[in-house]
Amino acid sequence: MKWKNERVVVFGGSGCLGYAIIRQLLAKGCLIRSFQRSPAPEFEDLGIKVVRGDIRNLEQVKAACRGCTAVIHTAALAGYWGGYRDYYTTNVEGTINVLQACQDHDIRRLVYTSSSSVAYTPEQHVEGLDESAPYPERYLSHYSATKSIAEKHVLGAFNRELSAICLRPHLIWGPGDHYIVPELLRRARKRVLYQVGDGSNMIDLAYVDNVAHAHILALEYLEHQSRFRHAYFISDGAPVNMWGWISELLNKLGEPGVTGRWPLEKAWRVGKYSEKLYRYLPFQPTLTRFLAGHLGYSHYFNINAAAKTLGYKPRVTPEQAMNSTLQWLRNG
């Protein structure tokens, strides 16, 4: 792939994953635009054009795509609580805006950051799930529900000339993460980190640089495809014991460990009650059924399709990922 001829716009470039993708694109020598809400003087110093805007604004999205040859779309509203309308306008309508901009500017390659959570509901063990699994009939979070709708739009895009790949990472973590590890630390320090279930559940993790690498591979693959659309699970390829991994992380940071243990059935009941109660309160509940399921059940995936088609292989080992994340956290 002749990267020096490419002009790539990254939606969500200031986020944890977007920033990692931009770093890897810089090494390829292509021209890069970062579409984001906040200013980024450090990007400008690196020769990256920063386009500030809101992905819900079609005209701003179209302006960002003008003159580009490819799009990587990582922008999303993440989380497990909030109003459905907020999630829908960002995750669904924002993605439709990106698709419209691709059509208007004759951009034929799109890599979209989806989520593994579009393919299952968390109240069950998910062990070795692959891309043949159908979408579930219901979801327990607005995030998963709207990411599923957005993915369906990408895979069934009205632009017949578009080739698109949806990548489904599970639990992106690493330097720059503002969700998974920081939330674990917050709960541990407040002594509200409860182990859910018997502690035997296995999970996939997706180190941010590995996920970024998958996006680069996907863009390279699309160069030689026509009207190609597919989704792929992405992870570090080595499921870990969830509570063992959490304990190792907290122990190496010198933080408090697990406060106590709850049976999965109890956590599920508390989560269901909290959802009803906090619906009328201006706060975020500590536990929901979505969280209870992710804390108590196994969730890991088969990444053979990404390996075979895209040539994906995690470049950062679990040990290297842990050490890099610990260093980032310690440096504050």
Dist. CA 275–CA 267, nearest whole Å: 12
Among 217, 258, 259, 238, smallest CA distance to 322 is for: 238
Spatial CB neighbours of 243, under 8 Å, sequence gap ≥ 6: 195, 199, 201, 258
**What CA–CA distances, in Å, run from 320 to 185, 208, 228, 312, 324?**
20, 12, 34, 18, 6
Annotated active-site positions, please?
Answer: 143
Bridge partners (DSSP) of residue 36 are 52
What radius of gyration do the chain's Cα atoms show?
A: 20
CB–CB of 103/160 below 8 Å? no
Work out the angle at residue 230's Cα, subtended by the Cα atoms of residues 112 and 3, and round it to the nearest 5 degrees: 55
The span from the first CA to the last CA of the chain, in angstroms, equals 38
Q: How many C-beta atoms surround the C-beta of residue 2 within 10 A? A: 9
Dist. CA 234–CA 46, nearest whole Å: 29
DSSP 22-54: HHHHHHHT-EEEEEESS--HHHHHTTPEEEE--
Work out the angle at residue 174's Cα, subtended by the Cα atoms of residues 170 and 175, and round it to the nearest 5 degrees: 145
Residue 329, token pair as written in the block: 């956290």
Beta strands 240-241 and 202-203 are antiparallel
